[in-house]
Chain A
Amino acid sequence: MSEDHAGPAATLAARVRHLEALLEQRGLIDARELDRSLEAFLARASPANGARVVARAWLDEGFRARLLSDANAALPELGLSMRGGLQEQRLKVVQNTEQQHNVIVCTLCSCYPIALLGPSPTWYKSPAYRSRVVRDPRAVLREFGFELESAVQVNVWDASAETRYMVLPRRPAGTDNLNEQALAALVTRNGLIGVAPA
């Protein structure tokens, strides 16, 4: 398991800085333009986006079906997308049920749907989480204070390629009369990763 981003990633970063300097020198980009677009991307990137998606899916069965079959096509219904980088990233939403619980990880690095969940928490990038959640997810969830019933099947999703994952948690009991905004307020970043019930 790679512990850091030295090696190819460091070389790539150096290449990017060099290219950036050349583009600036030749007046092809504004020196602050890249910073501004990065800042704008990060300002829009928040777990509140994922929470809105979940609340809509809890209320609207049609949306939920579209989200589960093709998340990238469903996100624009809420004004969201997986664009923001160089290319649109594929999103797969995995649904928790009474029988199945999902949890996401990237064992090789720290792949994560930043646009919908915001920057990832430090523990998500830690070697401890990445190596242990694939090996013994129930024990890791227990450390988050989340005890799953033994009858529930646990599915770990290791984002080892180009797809990014988000968990659709179960709607908490006793929330029948809540509106979309109130439901969204119940959804946490950890719920979207799968280490909390919602």
Chain B
Amino acid sequence: MAELFRPGDQVRASRSDPPHHTRLPRYARGATGTVLECQGRHPLPDRRARQLPARPEPVYAVRFAARDLFGDGDHTVTLDLWESYLRLAGLEGMR
């Protein structure tokens, strides 16, 4: 399976607030950031924690502007996010 995103892509993190384990921090939910790189492939922890089958999928370093996460701040925050947490920004309705 090819990687869905390339460095430079604008991606939006999922807005969902799942009732189970996840590695998508709450403060990044719904925010738009830029893909820096793919870090390799790992099984989705949301599924592993529930003992469901999980195939390795791409994990990306995604950089967010603090302003887009918290409304202010001049720094950036880079998170490592599984592909399942992300959609191309602006295309949510098409996927």
Chain A positions near chain B (C-beta within 8 angstroms): 1, 8, 90, 92, 107-108, 134-138, 153-163
Contacts and interface: CB of A to CB of B under 8 A. Distances in A.
B75 A153 contact: yes
Interface size class of B (residues with CB under 8 A): 20 to 34
Contacts of B39: 90, 92, 161-163
B15 interface: no
A135 B80 contact: no
B73 A162 contact: no
Contacts of B23: 108, 160-161
Contacts of A108: 23, 25
A107 B25 contact: yes
A12 B14 CA distance: 28
Interface in B1-23: 21, 23
Contacts, number: 66
A155 B75 contact: yes
A134 B74 CA distance: 11
B28 to A, nearest CB: 8
B25 A160 contact: yes
B45 to A, nearest CB: 8
B49 interface: yes
Interface of B: 21, 23-27, 39-40, 42, 49, 59, 61, 63, 66, 69-70, 73-82
Contacts of B77: 134, 155-158
Contact of A161 (B49, B66, B75, B80): B80
Nearest to A157: B78
Nearest to B75: A154
A7 to B, nearest CB: 8
21 contacts: A1-B25, A90-B40, A107-B25, A134-B27, A134-B77, A135-B73, A153-B74, A154-B76, A155-B63, A155-B77, A156-B77, A157-B78, A158-B79, A160-B23, A160-B24, A160-B79, A160-B81, A161-B42, A161-B80, A162-B39, A162-B80
A90 B61 CA distance: 13
Contacts of A154: 74-76
What 7 pairs across the A-B complex have the smallest Cβ distances? A161-B80, A154-B75, A156-B77, A161-B59, A160-B80, A155-B76, A158-B79
